[in-house]
Chains A and B, each alone.
Chain A
Amino acid sequence: MPDIIEGCLAGDRKAQKMLYEMFSGKMYAVCLRYADDEEEASDMLQDGFIRVFENLSSFRHRGSFEGWVRRIMINTALEKFRRKKNFYSLNDEEEGKVEPSEENTLDDLFAKELIGMIQELTPQYRMVFNLYALEGYSHKEIAGMMGISEGTSKSNLARARTILQEKLKKLRREKR
């Protein structure tokens, strides 16, 4: 891994490609959870990786590199969210869901179903749920990151959970 990073720092295209291939799958899955759709997730991933390459010199080889890349992706998602925040309607609970385009296995289907459920949440509910439930941030941290109050973060999480519970129950009924 250090060699790949060194290669990237030297501007080696092969090293950049290797690093991208190592993490793009996992990071794209992360971006999908934060984005409205696949197109936005792709943009997010692209912007995130450009930041990774451009700021690689600031990585100090002390923590997990994957964690560092992941945080950049989340920061990118947060930035997009904040930029678009004023255009979102908080009352629109149902967003346009992206149907899975290809389904290889039932496992994939379930994971994609879950991602679809998250994508159906409003942007703010989705962001709060992702940051709290899947990334492990506290409400205080989320409030600081999103520019909302802790109370709003808590109520958004509760609402997101309720919606997801309903969707999961519905999914279970359909699968039985």
Chain B
Amino acid sequence: MREWQDEHIDEVFRSVLDEYEVIPPHTVWDGIKGHMAGKKRRVLWMRRMAAAAAVLLMILSGIWFLDDQKRERVPSPEMISESVSEDESTPVQTAPAMETLPAGALPEPSGEPETGTGETRMSETPAISPVLAQAEMVAKQPPPEESSHEYEAVPACLEPLLTLRLGSDVAAPREAVDFRLEGNNWLALTEKEDQIEWEPGMDFLKEEKSRWGIGGQFSPAYSYRHLTSGEGSEDLKRYYNRIEEGVFAFSGGINVNYQASEKWSVYTGLYYSQMGLVIGRVEEYTLAAMGWETPEIHRKMAEKFYLVDHSTGTVVSDNENIKIVNTPEDALYNSIIGRDPSQYTQEYLENVNAFIAQNYEFLEIPILVKYRLIDEKVGMNILGGVSTNFLVGNAASLYIEGVNYSSIRTSNVSTLNYSGTVGLGLDYEILPGLMFNVEPTFKYYLNTFSEKNLIRSHPYSVAVFSGVRFRF
């Protein structure tokens, strides 16, 4: 015996039940009638209330109008005294006006029931055997194409309004009908675009679709910088790339999101992020090593200087035990030596086993837009946006032969930075309304980190955020 196949079984049910009718119990109409009568009574009551309110409004308007006229016609005591003083013989003209508004002139307030048989009727339906035979014939036919049920992509220009397409019409049950969410209301869009009807009973959809969410995320992040030559040479860029390397840090924060449509959502929030780099080449020199023994140099002979030069800014030391110069032509160097910088040679420098770890901390306010690519139990989004980053921390540590010297920082660093972010998001609904998400992202600073540097440095970070989002 042939098995009933998927869509064929649908057709069996459809062919029999499409035009099927059953007379409902009479209690249904009684219930409707009772409800409508109650509503009518409520409407009558409301009409009476509205009429009473209108009358009251008219009365109050009349009082206000007459009172206003009275105020216009009655002169103030100052006006009366002035007119009397100007001409004692001239009768005061205000008296008649007062007489035109006696107190009494103010308006007074004026206040078939048919019963169902419970029988069923079927029009033009064949007897059971032909029906079963017809069902069998249907079962042998090839399955109908499902393309008529397929969801059609919404043009981007209609976003964020259009979210769902539903389809059914009795005359043509499989013809498409669109629904769109406008503000808080669902509107039904019939076959033509201009046929927008409010469809009663759609309230439950808006109740279920909460648009706001709040969440938190955390990520380990790898951060470094991208160099462009700017005014500096390619050689300098290569040098920096050789002596510097990225660092692992972390980032995290809270966010609020708004679901603008089925596909699009907007995120903002407050994030804390770290970025930085390690400068691996630190050179040490002493004045004694240079062989100049002038009296002023002699004073400084015991001191060591560290030559540190890196791509994101100028290193300065607030630690009195550490003397740092950034370039061989450094002003400090010149002031001590008092000689032409061209006489400086590398032989007086010693490359020591030292490095500097520079760390920057930011508070970030992102504005991200997400587009939902896959709307399944495990969903997928692409995201992009921009962030404003406020520099809130700038600290470096100099490690010399395993000893850590702090109170060092990089100066001339922009305190306000803008970055762009792109990423991919995966989410999974672990509980109703509670989503777990993982988002690999790439963030790139749009402005150069230090405008004064010869080399333009754009920090970037690669992070894999994970966190939760709760829809409320």
Contacts and interface: CB of A to CB of B under 8 A. Distances in A.
Contact of A62 (B192, B201, B262): B192
Interface residues of A, number: 86
Contacts of A88: none
A135 B168 contact: yes
A87 B251 CA distance: 42
B376 interface: yes
A62 B127 CA distance: 37
Contact of A106 (B128, B148, B197): B128
Contact of A58 (B16, B17, B35, B197): B197
Contacts of A71: 166, 168-169, 177, 188, 199, 201
B226 interface: no
Given A28-B24, A70-B170, A49 B132 contact: no
Interface string A48-72: 1111111100111011101111111
B168 A111 contact: no
Contact of B122 (A17, A105, A132, A136): A105
B150 interface: yes
Given A64-B170, A71-B168, A134-B17, A54 B10 contact: no
A28 B22 contact: yes
Given A46-B31, A46-B32, A79 B169 contact: no
Given A29-B22, A45-B24, A165-B4, A54 B200 contact: yes
Contact of B9 (A11, A151, A168): A168
A144 B151 CA distance: 12
A43 B36 CA distance: 15
Interface string A99-112: 00110111111111
A87 to B, nearest CB: 15
A115 B376 contact: no
Interface in A77-111: 78-79, 82-83, 101-102, 104-111
Nearest to A118: B13
B204 A78 contact: yes
Contacts of A168: 4, 9, 12, 135
Contacts of A33: 17
Interface of A: 11, 13-14, 16-17, 20, 24-26, 28-29, 32-33, 38, 41-42, 45-46, 48-55, 58-60, 62-64, 66-72, 74-76, 78-79, 82-83, 101-102, 104-112, 114-115, 118, 132-141, 143-145, 147, 149-152, 158, 161, 164-165, 168-169, 172, 175
10 contacts: A13-B33, A25-B22, A29-B21, A63-B197, A69-B170, A70-B169, A71-B168, A79-B203, A106-B127, A149-B375
